[in-house]
């Protein structure tokens, strides 16, 4: 199989980028998209050109490193998978495939297809945790967690922090990511004491990072490799209102 690629190349964050076209030959349909890029990179290297920089590690859809906009869709056409789980059998012989970095002001390009997603880390630092220092925990079964809460928390907690939600959202909103972490912790008894501060702080940090606002267009859920539900956004909106009323108006 052969395909044509149109790839965003940008030497660094301060330099201008542009698209370059490449041909990828002798591919196998069982190759993953990233393995196809490996092949292209080997070729570029041997012909004295710069290989394409892209992020990856686990290559099994769990680390959240890989982050390509493939032909207009974050993580490619397969849906509910990460870039590394996208296979060449999703494409046709001779296709022209456009590959771009995830775009958002809050995710500046570092090089070629690599972007800086540290804004996500800063949001977690602002409140995406339970304050429990090592050694101070009660017996794990001392606090009962209803199965439904545990399941709901887990549904939210499977987020891999890839940023596809931001990349796909027309507003570059990080609401799905933020709401998933808030919902994970707010659903559990362990997360209750800090629920209000957590929500207020995380949203404040999210806004500071320059993400857009959610206007309920739901693309994020459609492109999320883990299928995180926009229900969590509704929950965050609700939790945020409650937190604001409780802390800012009732002064608790």
Partner 1 sequence: MNALTQVFTSSIGRKYIMGITGFALIGFVIIHMLGNLQIFIGQDTLNAYAKFLKTSPEVLWAFRLGLIAMVVLHLAAAVSLVRDNRKARGVDYKKEKKMSTLASRTMILSGIIVLAFVVFHILHFTVGAIGTAYNAHSLPLDSEGRYDVYSMVVSGFSNIWISGFYVLSVGLLCWHLSHGFSSMFQSLGFRNARSGPWLNKAAYGISFLIFLGMAAVPLAVLFRLVK
Partner 2 sequence: MDLNGKTPAGPLSQKWDNYIRDSKLVAPSNKRKYEIIVVGTGLAGASAAASLAELGYKVKSFSYHDSPRRAHSVAAQGGINASKNYRNDGDSVHRLFYDTIKGGDFRARESNVYRLAQVSSNIIDQCAAQGVPFAREYGGLLDNRSFGGAQVSRTFYARGQTGQQLLLGAYQALSRQIGLGAVESFLRHEMLDLVIVNGHAKGIVTRNLVTGEITTHAADSVVLATGGYGNAWYLSTYGRLSNATAIWRAHKRGAYFANPCYTQIHPTCIPVSGDYQSKLTLMSESLRNDGRVWVPKNKEDTDKLPASIAEEDRDYYLERKYPSYGNLAPRDISSRSAKEVCDEGRGVGPGGLGVYLDFSDAINRLGREKIEERYGNLFDIYKEITGESAYDQPMRIYPAIHYTMGGLWVDYELMSNVPGLFVIGEANFSDHGANRLGASALMQGLADGYFVLPYTINTYLATTKEKRPVKTQDEFVTTEKQAKEQIDRLLAIKGTRTVNSFHKELGKIMWDYCGMERTKEGLEKALQLIPALREEFWKNVNVPGDEEELNQALEKAGRVADFLELGELICRDALERAESCGGHFRAEHQTDEGEALRDDDHFSFVSAWEYGNGAGPKIHKEPLVYEEVHMSQRSYK
Residues near partner 1 (CB under 8 A): 6, 8, 19, 69, 71-73, 98, 100, 103-106, 108, 168, 170-173, 175, 203-204, 206-207, 210-219, 222-223, 229-231, 233-241, 244, 248-249
- CA dihedral (135, 138, 143, 145) positive or negative: positive
C-alpha to C-alpha distances, 139 to 17, 39, 73, 143, 144, nearest whole angstrom: 54, 51, 45, 8, 10
The option from partner 2, ligand HEM, ligand FES, none interacting with 94 (CB < 5 to 8 A, set by class) reads none
CA 145/CA 44 separation, integer angstroms = 54
**Rule CB under 6 A: is residue 214 a binding residue for ligand SF4?**
no
**Rule CB under 6 A: is residue 61 a binding residue for ligand SF4?**
no
> CB under 8 Å to 233, separation ≥6 — which residues?
175, 176, 179, 214, 216
Per rule CB under 8 A, count of chain residues that contact partner 2: 78
**Rule CB under 6 A: is residue 101 a binding residue for ligand FES?**
no
**Rule CB under 6 A: is residue 216 a binding residue for ligand HEM?**
yes
**Rule CB under 6 A: is residue 157 a binding residue for ligand FES?**
no
Instruction: Show contacts with partner 2 in window 168-197 (CB under 8 A).
Output: 184-185, 188, 190-191
**Rule CB under 8 A: is residue 117 a binding residue for partner 2?**
yes
- Are residues 4 and 22 in contact, defined by beta-carbon separation less than 8 angstroms? yes
**Rule CB under 8 A: is residue 129 a binding residue for partner 2?**
yes
Phi/psi for 7 (5° steps) reads -120, 140
What count of other Cβ atoms lies within 10 Å of the Cβ of residue 42?
A: 11
> CB under 8 Å to 234, separation ≥6 — which residues?
none
**Rule CB under 6 A: is residue 219 a binding residue for ligand F3S?**
yes
The option from partner 1, ligand F3S, ligand FES, none interacting with 176 (CB < 5 to 8 A, set by class) reads ligand F3S
Residues in the chain: 252
Of 5, 40, 164, 182, which lies in the binding site for ligand SF4, with binding defined by CB under 6 A? Answer: 164
CA 5/CA 1 separation, integer angstroms = 13
DSSP assigned state of 170: T
CB of 152 to ligand F3S, least distance (A): 19
User: What are the residues binding ligand SF4 (CB under 6 A)?
Assistant: 159-165, 176-177, 180, 224-226, 228
Interacting residues with ligand FES (CB under 6 A): 56-59, 61-66, 82-84
């Amino acid at each position: 199989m052969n395909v044509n690629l149109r790839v965003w190349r940008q030497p660094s964050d301060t330099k201008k980028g542009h698209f370059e076209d490449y041909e990828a030959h002798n591919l196998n349909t069982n190759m993953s998209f990233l393995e196809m890029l490996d092949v292209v990179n080997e070729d570029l290297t041997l012909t004295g050109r710069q290989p394409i920089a892209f992020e990856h590690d686990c290559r099994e859809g769990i680390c959240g490193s890989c982050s390509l906009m493939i032909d207009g869709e974050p993580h490619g056409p397969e849906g509910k998978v990460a870039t590394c789980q996208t296979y060449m059998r999703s494409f046709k012989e001779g296709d022209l495939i456009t590959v771009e970095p995830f775009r958002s002001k809050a995710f500046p390009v570092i090089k070629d297809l690599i972007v800086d997603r540290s804004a996500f880390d800063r949001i977690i630092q602002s409140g995406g945790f339970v304050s429990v220092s090592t050694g101070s925990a009660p017996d794990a079964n001392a606090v009962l967690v209803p199965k439904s809460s545990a399941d709901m928390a887990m549904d939210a907690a499977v987020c891999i922090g890839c940023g596809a939600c931001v990349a796909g959202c027309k507003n570059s909103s990080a609401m799905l990511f933020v709401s998933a972490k808030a919902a994970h912790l707010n659903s559990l008894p362990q997360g209750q004491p800090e629920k209000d501060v957590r929500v207020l702080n995380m949203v404040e940090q999210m806004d500071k990072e320059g993400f857009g606002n959610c206007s309920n267009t739901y693309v994020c859920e459609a492109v999320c490799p883990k299928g995180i539900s926009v229900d969590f956004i509704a929950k965050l909106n609700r939790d945020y209102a409650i937190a604001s009323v409780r802390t800012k108006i009732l002064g608790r």
